[in-house]
Every structure is written in C-alpha cells, then in structure tokens.
Structure 1
Amino acid sequence: MNLPFFIARRYLFSKRKKNFINIISILSMVGVAFSTAALIIVLSVFNGLEDLLRSLNNSFDPEIKIEAAVGKSFKTSDEFLSKIKKVEGVKLVTEVIEDYAYVHYRDANQIVTLKGVSDNFVEQERIPLESITQGKLRLKKGKVNYAIVGQGVSNTLTLAVEDPMFAMQIYYIKDVKASVTDPSRMYSKMNIVPGGVFSIIQYIDENYVLVPLDFAKDLLNYGNKRTSLEIKILEGENINAVQRRLQELLGDSFNVLNQEQQHKDLYRLLKMEKLFTFLSLTLLLGIGSINIFFSLMMLAIDKKKDISILAAMGADQRLIRNIFLAEGALIAFAGALVGLVLGGLFCWLQLSFGIISMGMETSITQGYPIKISWIDFVATLGVVSVITFLISSRPAVLASRFVSPQQL
C-alpha cells in the first residue's frame, strides 16, 4: 500500500479517539458532498432543458434551412430549385415566404408571423397529427385556401375553425413612397379560412400562421422571391454531409443551416447560463472545501510529534508533504463520491417519478426535465481535484517544515 495514503487513512479513520479535528474533517466531507450533489443536479437540469428545447424546436424546424447570406429574400427559378433537388440526400424542398402581417378576426386583432409554404410542406411531417388540437392539417381543399394557426393565435382571436362565414382578414403593410396619401395603397389585404390549429411550443403557438405559398406570394407581392428553402433529407442520410454538399453548390451567397444553427443564439445563451452556473457552484464547492484547509492546518500542528518520529525513522519533507496532501484528497474525494451518488440518485428519481414538478398546469412536461451526462461527473471530479490540491498545498508545506535539518 502507498505509505502516504496508509498514514493519511489512519489519521482520518482512526477509531482510537474522536477529537475536534475529526469533527471538522467530517463536516468538510458533508460540505463537499452536498456541493457536489447540487452541481450534478443543476447541470443535469440544464442538460434536460436543452434536450427538451431541441426536441420541441426540431419538431417544427426543417432539417436543413437555406437562406440568403445578405438580405431577407432571394430569387428562385425552376432551374435553381432543380439543382437543389438533385443534390445527393435531398428528399423534399419546400419553398417559404415568411414575414410579419396584421390579422383581424371579428373584433380581435394580432400581429403574427405569416409563413407561406409550398404544397409539400405537410409531407415534411414537421407538425405531428397529435399536435393538431382543432380542425385538420391541410393548406388547400380544391381551390379553397386554409390557414393552419398556432394555438396562442387561435386563443387571442377566438377562432371558429372551418367556419366559412368568418374568414381571417390578413393585412400587409407595403413599402410605399412617402408621397402616397391614399390609405388603400399603403397595404394589401386578403381573406383566408382558418382550417386547423396546432400546439407545439409556446413562442411558435403564439406567433405563427401557416398559409399556402401562392396566398402569401399574392398578399406580400414577393413574386419569384423566397425568404428560405426548407430541406428534408432522405432517411439514413447524414445531415452534415448533405449540408456540406448544398453549401458547396450554393456558395457564399447562401447560408445552409442545420437545426442547431437555426437557433444558435438560443443554444449559445443556454450554454453560457450553464457555464456561469457551473462556475458559481464551483465557487460554492471551494467555499465548502475551506474546512479541509483548517482541518489540515490543525492536524499538522496536532501531529508535530508524529512528524518528528517519522523524520527520525527516515521520512523526508516530501513524504510528510504527501501524507497531508493524501489526507486532503481522502476528505475531498470521499465527500465528492458521496455527492456524486446522491446527485445521480436524485436525477434517477426525477427521471423515473418526476418528484419535483414544474408547478404549472400548462407546462409541456410535468416534472423538471433531467438528462444525466457522464461529462458532468468527470468535470465535477476534475474541479474537486484542482480545489483539493490548492486547499491542501499550504498545510502540507507547513507540516513538512516541522522536519528539522538535523533529523534529515
């Protein structure tokens, strides 16, 4: 057995007597354990929130989105679309016109994000049938156009779905010259019947109205311009490979984005919050580990006689220093292992039984989302290792100085 760890273990777990130093050491373990458990739990919650956001966004977002690198729209043609459809791995190409519009229905009004999509949008299967709360998932029936409306928009406007007696009046403000004084020339207006209501995620439900592409093209006067193209790839194809091929075909004039890149600001913010939370809890872990410093300092003073005996038996300053470093490591890692077990157990209970709820009846999930990642456990152990070394270094050096040159 390693001699420094053997002696450190005897100091820590000796049953001969329990003095004040032992009590401080136990309190140090408890502090490290609870701080470690809190760190694991909070990081797992952030992982769960990120995973939940990805699953919700990915259900509505295209697998690959093509948009202009400069400006909000770009021109398309049959030849241009044909080139994209021929790219290996591409299954569907949906044309999109997206802009803000003003909706009036009976006595209610709202500013919405109007999204005109081509007829193959339903084939993309991005709005699951179970997400349709009223009406049907369709944009056209014969020559009749239908709007698919988010649940929040429907609630605000109090829509009567599939009621031809009351159509949604959609207005779009034109970009006109300042000299135009006729109000009717400042906007365009078209009517459409609400045919279905979907519910996916709050910010989408409260803003989006989906309409046929031809309807949006006429209302917004976009002609052959599109704001984006949404790509569905063939099953089994690698998204990154298809994305790379499309980018090579289109060049720097277009941005070809995967699902994470479409919400890069949101995910970057979530990662920053996780990082700052990790740093804050690491500081808490450091504060909790200060007891280790005082415990080792008192132990070094208490064991001066033992140090002298070890020195007389041939122990040098390096051995004495390693004994106290090992003592600090035993205290810290014993607490950390207990904390990791407690944190992992709590996360498992939350995953299995949802013991802590979100506290809202309208929440997407009843319990706080949790996702356990082994990287968090490794990072936490790494932080404990660094803090332990820094905390234990000074007492270890002090104890090694008790070895006089004559004894060496």
Structure 2
Amino acid sequence: MIWQFALRYFRARKSTSAINIIAWVSVGAIAVGTAALITVLSVFNGFTGLVKSLYSSFYPTLKVVPVTGKTILFTPEQLKAVSQTRGVANLSASIEEKAVLRNGNEQTIAVLKGVDSAFSHVAGVQDKVIRGAYDISHEQGYQAVVGLGIESALGVDVEHSSVPVNVYMPKRDEAGFSAGLPEQAVNSGTIYPAGTFAIQQEFDSKYVLVDISFLRNLLDMQPGEVTSLEISLLPGFSEKKTKRALQELLGENVKVQTRVEQNATIYNVMQTEKWVVYVFLSFILVIAAFNMIGSLSMLVIEKQKDITILKAMGGRNSLIQRIFLTEGLIIAGAGSVIGFSLAITICLLQQHFGLIKLGGGSFLIDAFPVEMHYEDFILVSVTILVIGILASWYPAQRAARQEITLKAT
C-alpha cells in the first residue's frame, strides 16, 4: 500500500505545476550527479588500469626483497622450494645497481638490472622493444637492452652500430677509497646495446637490462646472492595466498611484495585522487537533495486532505512517514536509473569510439581510457540511497506530525 500511494503521488498531476517541475528538477539533478560520478570514476579506473598495464611490463606479480641491506643469499634448496610453491609459474633472480655509462664523450647514470633467462616470463619488457632486439646474451660480449632515454643520453644506435658502452661501478668494499686510490675503487666492464625499450619515462630514462652474470662478476657477488626474486603466478591463483605461502617459507629476513606494494606511492596517490573527486562530485547530489526537500515539502502541503483522511481512517504517523520517505526514494531511484543509463552510454561510446581525446599527442593512447567497475555502481547507489533518505526525512516527519482537521458539514 505504501508503494502504491507513493507511486500515485509521483505520477499524478498536482494542483500547482511548480511541484511537478521541482520534482523533475530533483530527478534531473540526481541523474546528472549520478552520471558524472560514474563517468569520472570510470575514467580514473581506466587510468589506473593503464598504469598497471605499463608497470606489469617491468614489475613482476610478486617480488621477494631483503628486509635490510641490498642483497640476500638464497641456497639452491630455497630457490627450488620457491619455484615449487603452489601458484608459482616462473622464478627469476635479479641484481640492481647504479652505474656510470660512457659512450665516447657522452655519459649518464643508470640503474643496471641484471636478469636471467626467466625474466621474459615474469615481465613483458621484450614486448616493449621498439628498436633492435631483446638480447641479453653474452657469447660474443655482454649484450644489453637500454631504455629509450638512456639510448638518447648516450647517443647509441642499437640497429646500425655495435659500439661498446663502458660501465663504471664502485666496488662493494671501501679499500680503494680509504687508500686514496679512486681508480682501484671502481670496477669497469663493457656492454653492447642490442635493443631499446619504451614503456614510460620512469623506466626509459633509468634502466639498462643485462645478463645477471655481468653484474655478479662486476660486483664480486656470490652464486645465489641477489637483490630480488621476481615471480609470476599461474592463471587463477591468488596473489595474497601465494604471498602468504612464500612469506612463511622464506621467513622474516625477506618481504614479499605484490605489484601494488612495489609501487605503493603511485597507487595510493591515484586512489586518493579518486576519493577526492568522489567527495566533490557528491556535492551535486547534495544540491539535488535540497530540491527534493522543497519538492516533498510542497507535496505534503498539497496532500494535507489525503493525510487527514488516512489518519481519520486509523493510519498511524509511521504509515504517513513511510509513504513520503518512499516518495523521496522513488525520486532518487528514478534519477539514479536515468543517470546510470546515461553514464553507461557515455562510457561505451568512449570505449568504442574514443570521442574525448587526450591532448599533447600521447604515444600510448589517444583518448581517455574508461573502465566501468560494478563496485562504483554499488558505491554511488548507496550514496544516493543515503542522500535520498536524509532529504526525505524532514518532509516525512512534518507530514506525520500534521494534526487532523476535520470540518463539520
């Protein structure tokens, strides 16, 4: 009965057209706010997905690093146990260290990342090579794959030249420095750039990939000594469960990081920005709530006779209150349905046709990326429900408190 009364009040013509206008303005404001929230949150999801795809080209699904210090020594038994852990698909050992690279008169500082043959199975750098080839072999000299920024800084030509690049790296002990002999404190080697990768500036201007044996020899490291273990998972296995199993296996001297934890700063910033935008755009719905209050208050005045009759027939105050609360929820629900439909249409058009372009001539994507997540629809639905109830509460209370005024005839 409550829904029947509320739907009738919503659809029926009022004695004053202003009440209808204000009600539909409320519906329109909620629809606009809903569409704006879903669309903007979907754009943030798109950018987050884009960043994750870029980072997945360089960072593994799980990464094992030492809690203290730069390196950690793994025994063959430990490595075998890690590779046999449930969910682990591939295991790659790596060593990272800063070095000075020099090509003729050009030089730059870069991070050398020594990787083994399994690295191409835990990351996707080989798919981002834009010139030359992904080659870190060392049969005829140590080959290297350099970032686009490093290639530009050194002035190398990976396709038409085999000019060696000199690598200078400080020794791990301080004997040379303490003796006042800088030349004895530096190890040097030679690499031959064979390919260039382009992911994004953070990687392109920082990293050079070489075979892990090159760095192990240059740094006089023991077999099994690494800066990290990089792991990919079998399809369908949970990151959290595998992480927990590896942490229990390897103990407290290491920490196992997911891809999000490896890049916690950027992900936290993106999530914070998303929540800030959600809060600000929710004010559109708050403004719509004021329209609802006005619309329902005028409706209460319009339906004074109906309220009096219902109370005279034994209707309790709670019944009257629920009728007008339901009326407010119908207004909010109608606006949300229209808003969801509008947002889905906009997002689908953007996904298929890229109507809104990105400026600056980005080499990655031309249009704003969009990803719709059901969690956003739930969040916005709950937000609308709360705002609808709060906006309807005062008019509903006012209607329930209205006194019976029957006139004698």
Q: Output the TM-score relative to the length of structure 1.
A: 0.88
Measured in 2, the distance between the counterparts of 1:305 and 1:333 equals 27
1:56 Cα deviation after fit: 2.1
1:123 Cα deviation after fit: 5.2
1:242 Cα deviation after fit: 4.5
> What one-letter code is carried by the residue in structure 2 that aligns with 1:283?
F
Instruction: State the superposition RMSD in angstroms.
Output: 2.7
Measured in 1, the distance between the counterparts of 2:298 and 2:93 equals 73
1:148 aligns to what? 145
> What one-letter code is carried by the residue in structure 2 that aligns with 1:161?
V
Measured in 2, the distance between the counterparts of 1:237 and 1:7 equals 52
SS at match of 2:263: helix
Matched, 1:117 2:112: no
Measured in 1, the distance between the counterparts of 2:308 and 2:81 equals 84
2:401 aligns to what? 401
Measured in 1, the distance between the counterparts of 2:235 and 2:308 equals 73
1:231-288 CA-to-partner distances (Å, cap 9, x unmatched) read 3456776655554443332112122233333333433332232223222222331122
Relative to structure 1, the CA distance from residue 45 to residue 219 in structure 2 (aligned partners, 3 Å threshold; closer, same or farther) is same
8 Å Cα contact 1:307/1:403 also seen in 2: no
> What one-letter code is carried by the residue in structure 2 that aligns with 1:193?
Y
Which of residues 153, 160, 166 in structure 1 aligns to 2:163?
A: 166
Structure 2 counterparts to residues 127-138 of structure 1, below 5 A: 127-129=125-127, 131-138=128-135
Q: Which has the higher mean CA deviation after the structures are superposed, 21-30 or 7-16? A: 7-16
Relative to structure 1, the CA distance from residue 81 to residue 143 in structure 2 (aligned partners, 3 Å threshold; closer, same or farther) is farther
1:193 aligns to what? 192
Measured in 2, the distance between the counterparts of 1:5 and 1:124 equals 57
Matched, 1:345 2:342: no
Structure 2 counterparts to residues 359-398 of structure 1, below 5 A: 359-398=359-398
Q: Which has the higher mean CA deviation after the structures are superposed, 116-125 or 237-246? A: 237-246
Structure 2 counterparts to residues 181-330 of structure 1, below 5 A: 181-224=180-223, 225-233=225-233, 242-330=242-330
1:7 aligns to what? 5
8 Å Cα contact 2:14/2:302 also seen in 1: no
1:18-55 CA-to-partner distances (Å, cap 9, x unmatched) read 52222211111111110000111111112222222222
8 Å Cα contact 2:293/2:395 also seen in 1: yes
1:146 Cα deviation after fit: 1.0
Structure 2 counterparts to residues 45-56 of structure 1, below 5 A: 45-56=43-54
> What one-letter code is carried by the residue in structure 1 that aligns with 2:107?
N
SS at match of 1:159: coil
Q: Which has the higher mean CA deviation after the structures are superposed, 197-206 or 76-85? A: 76-85
> What one-letter code is carried by the residue in structure 1 that aligns with 2:197?
F
Measured in 1, the distance between the counterparts of 2:134 and 2:272 equals 38
Give the aligned length.
Answer: 404
What is the percent sequence identity of the aligned residues? Answer: 34
Measured in 2, the distance between the counterparts of 1:222 and 1:283 equals 59
Measured in 2, the distance between the counterparts of 1:266 and 1:342 equals 31
Q: Which has the higher mean CA deviation after the structures are superposed, 38-47 or 297-306? A: 297-306
8 Å Cα contact 2:126/2:134 also seen in 1: no
Relative to structure 1, the CA distance from residue 283 to residue 168 in structure 2 (aligned partners, 3 Å threshold; closer, same or farther) is same
1:27 aligns to what? 25
Which of residues 23, 29, 37 in structure 1 aligns to 2:35?
A: 37
8 Å Cα contact 2:39/2:347 also seen in 1: yes
8 Å Cα contact 2:147/2:206 also seen in 1: yes
Task: Structure 1: state its 5+ residue gaps.
Answer: none
